[in-house]
Chains A and B, each alone.
Chain A
């Protein structure tokens, strides 16, 4: 049974990672014809070209700026909203959760189209300013919010409501009770929400596609390349991003492992 589940987990991870491995391998392909599946020798030419592509680097910068702002704002707004919703009576909570579920349930493409109609109308009213970074950030916060709330809500529901009341009975002011009692309890959900918002924002193509105007984000840039023929430059960029993420993961993991050791060592003493 143990082996079966190990093999199963291995197979799922193989399924998740094999295509990425292919992308990475072909970023080193020396082929001048940009073939997708014929290997013709090791080369770093695509990395060299990548560093010279100003449009691509600007798209990357836009993507990161948008993701950081959208993740931060949606996590704060979303966590506050989850706490508020949790404190509502059953009827109000149900009504608000229906509105919250709406953009999640609503297909991305419809969200994108509807926001495009709004931004176009507003920009016309404001004298023809075209869509760009501002509309992108607003759109990204909007579609990230429900994911933050849905990550935080289950933790709040699983939390014993008496804890918060107990803190207040013991004379702790509401704000302090939140930060010292509620927040630590729901923190895993908040962090999941933050990471999800950041990932969703970086990864988003559909909503950005309809709300970006002429501003390029990385996915939009990639899309315009897939319409022609994908340049292995993009493979090279994916490889670099992937390496950066792995590095980040290792650092986080080492720190948690260290924390864990310190905690257990502390307990033993």
Chain B
């Protein structure tokens, strides 16, 4: 397929203009001050916010883990249903994504509030009211709710493509259900797991609306910091670029490790489990 390569050319040009150049601009801004002179002050300034970074990573990781644990069984079940019902079910997974995420998050505000619907229900059942809004749990819940379809879709996509005869072969060779899952299905679905984890973790770590709406003022995340530097009260695009740069590098390191994982999975098949 020698000629096929050129099909990627327009895309490569696009990426240079709209990804590489803007990223270079972020780096330039991060290392300069307002008058355009080289400085390291911005990066030093980022150090003050390490607790915010830790909180963002912790909450994002929790949301990713919950999404994977909750999403995998559903993707597996949908992949196993009859083809005609399968499309309807996967559309049901995608449908909430068509509602804007600000609205979905807003809906959770009305559910979780102290005088909200869940507390109305708790009171109706004679249970004590619970304080749910403005907690870290509420932020994780909002992340899972918003991003779980991005976990389910790639998992489903890979699981449906698995050749049934491979599974039947494993069964014929005497593997029970659990062994088939752990040694055949799960390793073969690893590319889907990797895509899903990436697609959930990245937006969860960098969100600024979910934390603002469900976390109250006390659960500030990195995204909130960046927004404040560019469009908020603390206007300082140079510091904002420095924070963005650090966030970007941290996530690239995490994902570099994930990619390594994917390469092994793709080339060595079932060796991982």
Contacts and interface: CB of A to CB of B under 8 A. Distances in A.
B64 to A, nearest CB: 13
Contacts of B5: 84, 87-88, 92
A142 interface: yes
Given A205-B100, A242-B98, A87 B87 contact: no
Interface stretch (A41-49, A50-58, A125-133, A188-196): A188-196
Interface in A165-224: 174, 188-189, 192, 195-196, 199, 202-203, 205-206, 209-210, 218-219, 222-223
Interface in B199-228: 199, 202-203, 205-206, 208-209, 213, 223, 226-227
Contacts of B94: 195, 199
Interface in B78-117: 78, 83-84, 87-89, 91-104, 106-111, 113, 115-117
Contacts of B73: 5, 8
Contacts of A78: 11
Nearest to A21: B107
B11 to A, nearest CB: 4
Interface in B154-189: 154, 157-158, 161
Contact of B10 (A8, A80, A174): A80
Given A118-B22, A257-B84, A20 B102 contact: no
B9 A84 contact: yes
A253 B107 CA distance: 28
Interface SS, B side: helix
A147 B165 CA distance: 30
Contact of A222 (B29, B92, B103, B208): B103
B22 A114 contact: yes
Given A81-B11, A106-B251, A257-B84, A5 B77 contact: yes
Contact of A9 (B7, B74, B145, B191): B74
B87 A256 contact: yes
Given A104-B202, A241-B99, A83 B22 contact: no
Interface residues of A, number: 95
Given A107-B206, A241-B99, 5 more contacts: A107-B202, A107-B205, A108-B206, A109-B223, A117-B237
Interface of A: 5, 8-9, 12-13, 15-20, 22-23, 26, 36-37, 77-78, 80-81, 83-88, 92, 96, 98-111, 113-118, 121, 138-139, 141-142, 145, 149-151, 154-155, 157-158, 161, 164, 174, 188-189, 192, 195-196, 199, 202-203, 205-206, 209-210, 218-219, 222-223, 226, 230, 234-235, 238, 241-242, 245-246, 249, 252-253, 256-257, 260
Interface of B: 1-12, 14-15, 18-23, 25-26, 29, 70, 73-74, 77-78, 83-84, 87-89, 91-104, 106-111, 113, 115-117, 120, 145, 148-149, 153-154, 157-158, 161, 191-192, 195, 198-199, 202-203, 205-206, 208-209, 213, 223, 226-227, 230-231, 237, 240-241, 244, 247-248, 251-252, 255, 259, 266
